[in-house]
Amino acid sequence: MPDTLSDLRRNLAEAYRIVANEGILDAFGHISVRHPGNPNRYFLSRSRAPSLVQADDILEYDLDSNPLVPPTVRPYSERVIHGEIFKARPDVNAVCHHHAPAIMPFAISGVPLLPVFHLGAAMGQSAPVWDSRDEFGDTNLLVVKPEEGASLARALGKHSVVVMRRHGATVVGGELRELVFRTLYSAKNAEHQLAAHVLGHVSPLTPGEAEMAGQLNLAPGPLARAYEYWVRRLADKEGRGKSDTSVRAAEAAARKPNPGVAVPVKKSGAKAKAKPKAKGKKR
């Protein structure tokens, strides 16, 4: 959890730019995070290209997707995606909606998106498909009405990714770094699955493999390692040095040992004295 709401805004803005830098978000798409102290509120940028988002672009909303302060800038029209998912899923604390090129063939064809490699297991065992036509007929394909957002949330159900027919995908996570990991690797998974279809055979993970690999991928160690990599790539692109606050924080997280993993402690100074041998009984 961030120490302050200022940290949250900075972290969220950086997540926007990371996912854009990795080629998943372009001029469109958006990321939100639930208020850490009030589950009935969330944060989302103003309507701006993700690669440009800064901390002062972040606005606060209630779960009906109404801004708490009347905005002087244009908000995202599809913010109900976030509000309605936060309503339906108390376990979700971060949401990303995108139109990644790797996802679009699945959104257009309806071919099921399945985990096909170990890091792709972060997407879960499967991704349901939501088709706006089923409930709303012909639309402009944007999710702008509360009932449309609620319909999408129902289709998502307990899953981590929902594919949106002819539109893109929406991804959820328990926290922001987990969301970024899942967003990036579910898109990479789609890329690999599409390539395997070209070869003519797709062999997805078993449910057991997907569950175990997914848990391992999102453990603190792998998550910190990946996030340090993405933060450094973004910092290098933006011309920020190693002394940048977010770079130092990501590096510090990556150095931490995994919880539950024993770390040998080196004793300083003289060697520990050997335990005295038990004295035998006098005969």
Angle, alpha carbons 210-103-231 (nearest 5°)? 75
Map residue 95 onto helix, strand or coil.
strand
Residue 41, pLDDT > 80, answer: yes
Residue pair 193/157 in contact (Cβ under 8 Å)? The answer is: no
pLDDT digits (tens, 9 = 90+) for 62-95: 999 999 999 899 999 999 999 999 999 999 999 9
- The predicted model scores a pTM of 0.88
Q: What is the 3-state secondary structure (H, E, C) of 124-190?
A: CCCCCEECCHHHHCCCCCCCCCHHHHHHHHHHHCCCCEEEECCCEEEEEECCHHHHHHHHHHHHHHH
pLDDT tens digits along 116-136: 999 999 999 999 999 999 999
Neighbouring residues of 71: CB distance < 8 A, sequence distance ≥ 6: 46, 59
Instruction: Tell me, yes or no, if 175 is annotated catalytic.
Output: no
Q: Which of 90-94, 144-148, 271-275 comes out lowest in average pLDDT? A: 271-275
Q: Domain spans of the chain?
A: 5-203, 219-256
14, 78, 148, 228: the catalytic one is: 78
Is domain 5-203 in CATH 3.40.225.10, yes or no?
A: yes
Interatomic CA distance for residues 233 and 250, integer angstroms: 12
Q: What pLDDT score was predicted for residue 281? A: 43
Whether residue 172 contacts residue 95, with contact meaning beta carbons closer than 8 Å, is answered with yes
Tokens of 224: 């910190």
